[in-house]
Chain A
Amino acid sequence: MFSHSSDIRRESVIDADVCIIGAGCAGITLATELNGSPLKVILLESGDLEYDEKTQSLYQGENISANPLKLEDVRLRYFGGSTNHWHGMCHPLNEIDLLPRKEIAYPGWPITLNDLTPFYVRAQKVCQLGPFVYDDENYWRQQMNFSPLLSGNLLRTSFFQLSPPTRFGAVYREVLKKSANVEVILNANALELESSGDADHVTQVRVAHINGNTFWVKAKKFVLSAGGLETPRILLLSNKIQKKGLGNGHDLVGRYYMDHLANLRSGTLQFIADQSKYPWYFKLGTKVNHLPDTTVGVLLTPSTELIKKEGITNFRIMLLPTPEEKGIDSVKSIISGIKSGHIPDDLGGHIKNVLSEIDSVTNLAFKNIFHTNKNLLGAREKSTAITRADIDLNMEQLPNRDSKVSLSGQKDVFGQNRLKLDWKISEMDKKTAGKALETIALECGKYNLGRVRISDSLKQDTSFETSWHHMGTTRMSVSPTDGVVNVDCKVHGVDNLFIASSSVFTTGGWANPTLTITALSIRLADHLKTLFS
C-alpha cells in the first residue's frame, strides 16, 4: 500500500517490524522480497512517484574533487531512485574481485562469489534478465554464432546482459500497492536514526515531509538503502550519541569512496583487419531471440593472469565506432603536396590546422599506410571498410581510505549538513589505465587487428568521469576496524541496523553494480526473515 507523509499525523510514531529507508532498486527489492511475509514493513521514500525539483535539490552538496561533478546530477531522488534512468548493463562481480589481492592494502570481501551466486540467479529475474550465464564463450558461440575478436591470454571477451532497463519504481509499483504487509510512505525524508544506550541499538527514525511535517518510525530492524552517497550521510547525521556518527566508531563511514573510472575516449583503435566479422563488439547489445529476456553485449576485459602479473585493478573496454574526423582536407592536400613535390601555397593555414589537429594528421597517415591495397601489413590483400573505434575504458578503482564523503558545512532545507565529496584518483588507478591501453595496443598489433592511439589525457585526474556508481562508503568486513558492516550487511556495533547498497562493496571490479546490489538485497531479505523466524 502507498501513503504520503503529508497525511501522517504530525509528531506521531508508526510501529513496524522492518523499516527500510530509500526506495531505489535496493529498497524496492527488499520490500518485494518481504511482501507476503508476516512482517510489517515500512518503506520510506524521500521523493514522490515522479521527479520533483525541490526534493531532488536535497541531493546538492559540495564537491572538492578534481572532477567537477555535481552531487545532484549523479543520482535521482524519487520512487525507483537512479533506476529511473539507469542503462541496464548487468554483470556479476568476477571471482578475482572477491578474492584478496596483494595490491589492495585493506582486507577484501569477506564473502566469495559462491556465496553470492544463488542470489545472483534470483536477481536476474528481478532485473528482467535472461539465464545466469555470463562469460561462457562457448555458450554464446552456440546461442548467437559468436566468434571472438581477440583470443589472446591478456585480454578476453566478457559478456554482459542488458536489462530492459527495469524501472524498479514502475515495474514493482503494483506489487507494493497491493501488498498487505508493506507500506510505502512517499515524501518521507529520513533525517536521523535515533539510538539508545551506547548507540548500539536504533530505536526509531525521525522522518519529515519537505514542508516540515515530522513523525517517527519505530521498528525492530532498520535497513538503510538510500544509495552509496546518502547512506553514509544518514549515518554521519545520526550523531546525537556517537558523535562521529552512527556505526562510525572507527572513522570508516564515508571513506573508501569508489566509482568506476570512465574515459570514453581513452584511445582510438584504427582497424586493419576486417572488423565486420565481429559485429557484437560494436553495438550495445544483441538480442538473442530464442532466449527470453536476453540481450547480450560484448566487452574486452583483462585475464586474471594479467591483473595478477601487472598488479593492476580490473577494467573493461568497449569499442565505440567513430566517424571520420573533420579538418582532414588540409592534411590530405599537404600529403598530396609532399607526394607531388609541391608544398601547398597556403602553408600557414595548413600548418595551423595540422597543429590543432595533430591527431588527424597521424590518423590519416595511418589510414593511408594501412588501408590502401598496397598497405604494409596486409600488403596486397584487399582492404576492407575503414573503421575506427573510440576505446571506452571503464575501470575499477583501488580502495583508498582518503577518497571519501563527509559532512559539509552547507545546510539543506532541514538544516542538515549536506554531503562533501572528496573523490581521489590514485597513481595506481592511472597505472591501470595506462596498462589497459597498452595491452589492447599490443594485442591488436600482435594479431594484426589494428593500431591504437593512446589519448594524452589519460595521465590527468580530470580525464576520468563518474560512472554514477557510488561504492565503498560503508564497506563490508569481518572486523569493525576494517569496515562498517559485517558479512550479513549489519552495521558493526549496532544490533539492528543493516545496509543494502553498493556502499557495502569492498572492491568494485569492473561490473556495473546494480545486479550485485539486487543480489545483496535479496540475500539480506532472506537473512531478515530468518532473524524474525
Chain B
Amino acid sequence: MQTRRQFLMTLIAGCFVPAGTAYALPSKASGHLSATGKLSALFGNNGSAMVIGNSYRSFSKTASKNLSGELAALLDFISLSETDFVSMDNGNLLQHIKRVISKDFEHGNVTQVDGWLLSTTEVQLCHVLSLAPHE
C-alpha cells in the first residue's frame, strides 16, 4: 500500500504531467507543485484560486496547511481513488468534478467564502491550489 508521501512522489515522477508541458521535473520540495499540477491545469487563474483558498483558510476552523492531507480530502470529496484520479484524462475529470459540484448544490453541501455560497468541493479545490507552491 502506497503511503500518501509515496503517492505524491509518484505524481512527481510525472505520471500525469503531460509530456512536453512546462512542468520541469522537480528540484527538492517541488513535489507538491507537481501534485497539484493536474489541478492547476484545470484553472485559468491560480492566483484567483489562491485568493479564495486563502480567504477560506482565514476563517475555517478545520482547514489545515497540510497539502497532502487536504489533497486526500479533495479526492475523498470527488470520490476518486488515487489511481482513477491519476489515470483519468482532464476532460473526463472536469466533467466528473462538474457533476460533483452540481450535486453539492443540490444537497446543500456548500461553504460561504466572503459571502459567496460555493460548493464545498470547489472551495476545497481552491484550498488545495492555494497551498501549492507556485512558480
Query: Taking beta carbons and an 8 Å cutoff, which residues of A are in contact with B?
Result: 267, 335-336, 338-339, 341, 358-359, 361-362, 364-369, 371-377, 379-380, 437-438, 441-448, 451-456
Contacts and interface: CB of A to CB of B under 8 A. Distances in A.
Given A374-B44, A442-B106, 17 more contacts: A335-B45, A335-B51, A341-B135, A358-B114, A359-B115, A361-B55, A362-B115, A372-B44, A376-B94, A376-B122, A437-B117, A442-B117, A445-B101, A445-B117, A447-B102, A448-B98, A452-B117
A438 B106 CA distance: 12
B110 to A, nearest CB: 7
Contacts of A448: 98, 101-102
B117 A453 contact: yes
Contacts of B134: 338-339, 341
Contacts of B43: 369, 374-376
A448 B99 CA distance: 10
B23 to A, nearest CB: 16
Q: Which 8 A-B pairs have the closest CB atoms?
A: A372-B44, A445-B105, A368-B48, A368-B45, A441-B117, A374-B44, A365-B48, A335-B47
Interface residues of B, number: 38
27 contacts: A335-B51, A338-B134, A339-B45, A341-B135, A358-B114, A362-B51, A362-B52, A362-B55, A362-B113, A362-B114, A365-B45, A366-B52, A368-B44, A368-B48, A369-B43, A369-B52, A374-B41, A376-B97, A379-B90, A379-B94, A379-B98, A442-B105, A442-B110, A452-B116, A452-B117, A453-B115, A454-B116
B74 interface: no
B47 A336 contact: yes
Interface string B5-37: 000000000000000000000000000000000
A378 to B, nearest CB: 8
A454 B117 contact: yes
Contacts of A359: 114-115
Contacts of A339: 45-47, 134
Contacts of B47: 335-336, 338-339, 368
A310 to B, nearest CB: 12
B80 interface: no
Contact of B42 (A361, A374, A443): A374
B74 to A, nearest CB: 13
B125 interface: yes
Given A365-B52, A376-B125, A445 B44 contact: no
A446 to B, nearest CB: 4
Interface string B109-129: 010111111110010011000
Nearest to A446: B105
A437 B116 CA distance: 11
Given A341-B134, A341-B135, A445 B48 contact: no
A369 B49 contact: yes
A269 to B, nearest CB: 11
Best-buried of A362, A369, A374, A447 by chain B (most CB within 10 Å): A369
Name B's interface SS.
Answer: helix
A111 to B, nearest CB: 37
A351 to B, nearest CB: 13
A455 B115 CA distance: 7
A445 B115 contact: no
Nearest to A447: B102
Contact of B48 (A335, A447, A451): A335
B104 interface: yes
A375 B41 CA distance: 10
Contacts of B117: 437-438, 441-442, 445, 451-454
Nearest to B53: A365
Contacts of B69: none
Contacts of A335: 45, 47-48, 51
Contacts of B114: 358-359, 361-362, 453
A380 B92 CA distance: 12
A364 B48 contact: yes
A445 B104 contact: yes
B50 A338 contact: yes
A369 B49 CA distance: 7
Contact of B45 (A369, A379, A438, A451): A369
B115 A454 contact: yes
Contacts of A443: 105
A324 to B, nearest CB: 16
Contacts of A374: 41-44
A162 B36 CA distance: 53
Contact of A366 (B41, B48, B98): B48
A16 to B, nearest CB: 59
Nearest to B90: A379
A297 to B, nearest CB: 26
Contacts of A442: 105-106, 108, 110, 117
Interface centre among B48, B119, B122 (most CB of A within 10 A): B48
Interface in B53-89: 55
B44 A377 contact: no
Contacts of B122: 376-377
Given A335-B51, A359-B114, A445-B105, A377 B98 contact: yes
Nearest to B44: A372
Nearest to A361: B51
Contacts of B48: 335, 364-369
